[in-house]
Structure 1
C-alpha cells in the first residue's frame, strides 16, 4: 500500500496533504470527484461505479491512488499494468482499460497505463495533479516497469482542426505556439508525446483523437545492466 505525507501550497501557505492508496471506504468520495470533474452534459454512466472501483483496489491497489488535503479527498489517479508494444501502439481507451474495469490487468505487464486522473475543481490551484503523477512515477520505478503511458485528451484541438492536422496541433503545443489544457499539463509533468491515435475515445472537443503520452523509467537501463553483470 502507498502512503506519502507532503505539503502543498496555496500561494505561500503550506497545507498538509497525504497521497495514499484508496480503499473501499473512499468510494463515495471518489464518485463525487467524478461528478464534480465531469458534470452534465457528460453522461453520468461514465462516472466511476462501485464495481469498477472495487476492481481497482483488488486487482492493482498500487495503481489506485488518492490525495487528501486537510483530511478531505481532493483527487485520484488510477492505473493498470499492460504489455505495451511501441511498434503496435494503436488502441482505444475502452480496449486497453477494459472500459475502466481493468479486468485485463496483467501482473507481468511492462507498462503502467493511466486509466484516469481527476482533481476536484476547487483544489486545482494546489498542483495536486502533478503530485499524483509523480507518485505514480514512483510506482513505475518501484516495480521496475519500462514506462508510464496514457492517452491524453486534446480538448483544444477542435478550435484548430480546420487548419491543423492532429499531429501538427501536437507539434505546435510542444513548440509552445499553442497551449492545450491537457497536453500542456502532461508536458509539465514530464510526459512526452509518443503517437496521436484516432478514435481513441468519444470526445468531440478532441475530435475523437488522443495523444499517447509516455514517461520512461530512467532506471530501466541501469536495472538491465545490473542483471547482466550478475549473470541473470
Structure 2
C-alpha cells in the first residue's frame, strides 16, 4: 500500500507519502514518539523495537506511516479483534496487549486503533486525518465491520467536578464544550459509542477515554 498526496503546511503544498512501515523505519518511528511526547512523558511508554516488530509481523496492513520532506512525520497502528475480546473492563492495555498486539486475530471484525501520532510541526497539515482515512480504507479492503478506538478527552479534567465523563462527551458532541482530541476524531468521521473509565493512565482525561467508531458503509 502506498499513497501519494499533497497537504498544505503554512500555506505551502507539501507532498506526503502514506505507506506501511517496516523494520528500516523503527528508529524514525521511535523519534516521532520522542518528539511528540517529550519529558516528563515517561520514555518507557514510547514504542520500542520489539513492539514495532510485532506490528509489522502480525498485521502489516495496520502499520502505517506518513513521510514528508524526506522524513517520517506520523504513524498509525491497529490490530483486528473479535467482539469477545472487548468485553468486560475496556482498557487500552487489554485491547492492544500493551501495544504488542499479540492478541491480533485475523478473523476479528473490528480494526482497533492502537495509536496515532503526528509530530508537532506537522499537526496543522491534516496528516492525522489522512492516516485515519487510510485506515478506513483498510477496513473496507479487508471487508471488516468497523474501526474502533479510545480517544483521550484532555479537556475533561477542567470540568470533572461538575459533570461525569459521559456528560462531558455529550456536551462536546453538542458543541457546548471544546475538546481537541474528540473534536479531531469527530472531524475524521468517528462517532461516539460510549466512555471507558480507567482506559489509560491520563491525568488530563481523568483516566477516561471516548470510545469512537467508524462503520464500514459497504457492510
TM-score, normalisation: structure 2: 0.97
In the other structure, the counterpart of 1:205 is: 204
Structure 1 residues 69 and 152: CA distance shift in structure 2, 3 A: same
Question: Is the Cα contact below 8 Å between 1:150 and 1:212 reproduced in 2?
Answer: yes
Deviation at 1:208, TM superposition (A): 0.6
Unaligned runs of at least 5 residues, structure 1: 221-232
Q: Counterpart in 1 of 2:29?
A: 30
Does the 8 Å contact 1:17/1:71 carry over to 2?
no
Please report how far the alpha carbon of residue 15 of structure 1 lies from its aligned counterpart in structure 2 after TM superposition.
1.4
Alpha-carbon offset, residue 103 of structure 1 = 0.4
Higher alpha-carbon Rg: 1
For the pair 1:150 / 2:149, whether they are aligned, the reply is yes
**Cα contact 2:73–2:122 (8 A) shared by 1:** yes
Partner of 1:122: 121
Distance in 2 between the 1:33 and 1:81 partners?
24
Name the residue aligned to 2:162.
Answer: 163
> Is this contact kept in 1: 2:151–2:212, CA < 8 A?
yes
Gaps of 5+ in 2: none
CA contact (8 A) 2:85 2:95 kept: no
Alignment of 1:46-125 (within 5 A): 46-84=45-83, 88=87, 90-125=89-124
Return the alpha-carbon distance in structure 2 between the equivalents of residues 17 and 69 of structure 1. 5
Q: Is the Cα–Cα contact under 8 Å of residues 9 and 122 in structure 2 kept in the other structure?
A: no
Name the Cα RMSD after superposition. 1.4
**Could you tell me the TM-score, scaled by structure 1's length?**
0.91
Q: What is the deviation of 1:88?
A: 4.0
Aligned residues: 219
For residue 178 of structure 1, what is the aligned residue in structure 2? 177
Structure 1 residue 89, shift from structure 2 partner: 6.6
User: More deviation in 66-75 or 92-101?
Assistant: 66-75
